[in-house]
Amino acid sequence: MIWLRSALDGFVELFYPRLCVGCGEKLFKDEQYVCLQCRSKLPLIREHEVPDNFVEQHLYGRPFIESATALLVYGKETTVQRMVHEIKYHGAKELARSLGTMLGRQLREGRFSSVDAIVPVPLHPKRLKWRGYNQSEWFAMGLSDEMEVPVRTDWVKRVVETSTQTKKSVEERWSNVQGIFELCEDAVPEDMAGKHLLIVDDVITTGATAMACAAAFSSVENVRLSVASIAAVNKG
């Protein structure tokens, strides 16, 4: 049956070839979503250990965030934007997880090595039902694979369904997400007390969503909070 499956895969590939989301060229058999050439050109962020790096600059004035970083620089009409689009709207969950493993390998030591749990920014139940998965959770799973700390999806929930942030101004983005996250009813604050939690989002543009999620933990005693994402906009 293996030969039959291989033949069927070859037949499908002939009429529906898998294309790189970056350059549009046909992918080789061992490539997934992004060809090796485009992958080698990805704008990786290597400032995880640098205080006040450009990701953290999004969060200035938010003193309860300890550290922040991202894997990639986000830009319009780029391979990174197209990758995020595939992850969010075309079911590329495994791409999100693979990017999580890439970042996780880099965060196992240094400022993020003390992370006790990873908390993906939750979707509203209606959005989760429509999409079928939470892209931030899949990214968090990849981080967890490498950092060897648990993913907690049972500590915080989204209680308000908001409109998309894409076309909003900075002020509108912050206003749009105030008070939209709460601790889950069954969450035990004592279980989080004194812990270092890593809040995980897909893209940091202003940091408003990640910070709103982090704010849900503000009543937890001695909690330490950091932020990580697949990509972040470089304002500089």
User: For 2-6, 44-48, 108-112, which range has the lowest pLDDT when averaged over its residues?
Assistant: 2-6
Amino acid 113: pLDDT = 97
Closest CA to 202 of 132, 146, 122: 122
Please tell me whether the overall predicted TM-score, pTM, comes out greater than 0.75 for this model: yes
Residue 162 has pLDDT above 80, yes or no: no
Tens digits of per-residue pLDDT, 204-230? Answer: 998 889 999 999 998 999 999 999 999
**What is the per-residue pLDDT across 27-85, written as a single tens digit (0 to 9) for each?**
988 888 999 999 999 999 999 999 999 999 988 766 689 999 999 999 999 999 999 99
Q: How does pLDDT run across 164-174, given as a tens digit for each residue? A: 655 556 566 55
Please tell me the predicted confidence (pLDDT) of residue 174: 58
pLDDT greater than 60 at residue 21: yes
What is the rounded CA–CA span in Å between residue 126 and residue 130? 6
Q: Helix (H, G, I), strand (E, B), or coil: what is residue 224? A: strand
Q: What is the DSSP string of 188-213?
A: -HHHHTT-EEEEEEEEESSSHHHHHH
Phi–psi pair at 52, nearest 5 degrees: 65, 30
Whether the per-residue pLDDT at 236 is higher than 80: the answer is: no
The confidence band for 156, taking pLDDT boundaries of 50, 70 and 90, is: very high
Per-residue model confidence (pLDDT) at position 176? 66
